């Protein structure tokens, strides 16, 4: 399913807004595919410049470095995921069903390959979040980046999930911790499933069904025990 909306990105993420030019959009779109293909550690702007037939200097006019490009894409994904949560929960009144829906949205790999109005592939962005999402905040620039509000979309997403948790059980003391834990576990378990399968109980889980069941058990066991 394709959702029609526009994400406003933090202007501290870029030197020039990539959405304003064809080259900028190509830098982000092809940069995402190339990072997923060769890995963030091996990715360079020089390699990307060859891929999109431009100069390395041209890419640096948009992004200060490759870490900024990574944060840009991951931030986009958090904003998009929060929008999906809002959209899918809009007509739901059952609080348990809301949480189950959120868990599915977080844990299951998107099937949408292309979006009409966005230049970032949701499915490719999801893969990047699983493989390299933690690199956005596990950096020495964390304090400055946080001051620049680069992590606001992630915080907003966690805050929205936490509010649903509190609606389900207002007595639960740790809604924000549980919200961020759901996200981190979902992505780390998907990473382990593909790369370190002995760290999961569902290495052959193709459609994340068992991961969703695990997260449901984890979440509702915690919430029910404090009622």
| Domains of the chain from N-terminus onward | 73-225 (1.10.357)
Tokens representing 39 are 């890995």
Instruction: Please count the CA atoms within 13 angstroms of the CA of 162 that sit on its side-chain side.
Output: 15
- The secondary structure of residue 58, as a DSSP letter, is H
**Closest of 121, 119, 162, 155 to residue 137, by C-alpha:** 155
Task: Give residue-wise pLDDT tens across range 11-64.
Answer: 999 999 999 999 999 999 999 999 999 999 999 999 999 999 999 999 999 999
Contact 99, 169 (CB under 8 A): no
Contact 130, 146 (CB under 8 A): no
Using alpha carbons only, what angle is made at residue 149 by residues 145 and 155, rounded to the nearest 5 degrees? 110
Tokens representing 9 are 């990105």
SS3 string, 39-82, reads CCCCCCHHHHHHHCCCCHHHHHCCCCCHHHHHHHHHHHHHHHHH
Task: Give residue-wise pLDDT tens across range 121-166.
Answer: 999 999 999 999 999 999 988 999 999 999 999 999 999 999 999 9
Task: Give residue-wise pLDDT tens across range 180-212.
Answer: 999 999 999 999 999 999 999 998 888 899 999
Contact 33, 124 (CB under 8 A): yes
């Amino acid at each position: 399913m394709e959702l029609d909306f526009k994400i406003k990105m933090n202007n501290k993420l870029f030197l020039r807004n990539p959405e304003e030019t064809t080259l900028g959009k190509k830098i982000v779109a092809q940069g995402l595919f190339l990072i997923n293909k060769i890995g963030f550690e091996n990715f360079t702007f020089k390699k990307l410049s060859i891929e999109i037939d431009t100069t390395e200097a041209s890419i640096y006019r948009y992004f200060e470095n490759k870490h900024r490009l990574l944060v840009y894409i991951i931030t986009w994904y958090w904003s998009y995921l929060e929008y999906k949560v809002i959209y899918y929960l809009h007509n739901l009144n059952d609080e348990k069903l809301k949480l189950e829906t959120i868990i599915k949205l977080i844990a299951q790999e998107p099937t949408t390959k292309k979006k009409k109005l966005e230049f970032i592939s949701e499915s490719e962005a999801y893969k990047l979040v699983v493989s390299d999402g933690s690199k956005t905040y596990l950096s020495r620039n964390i304090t400055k980046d946080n001051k620049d509000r680069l992590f606001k979309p992630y915080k907003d997403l966690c805050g929205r999930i936490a509010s649903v948790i509190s609606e389900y059980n207002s007595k639960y003391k740790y809604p924000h911790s549980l919200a961020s834990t759901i996200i981190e576990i979902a992505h780390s378990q998907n990473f382990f499933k593909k790369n370190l399968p002995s760290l999961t109980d569902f290495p052959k889980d193709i459609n994340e069904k068992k991961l969703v069941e695990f997260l449901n058990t984890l979440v509702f066991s915690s919430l029910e025990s404090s009622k």
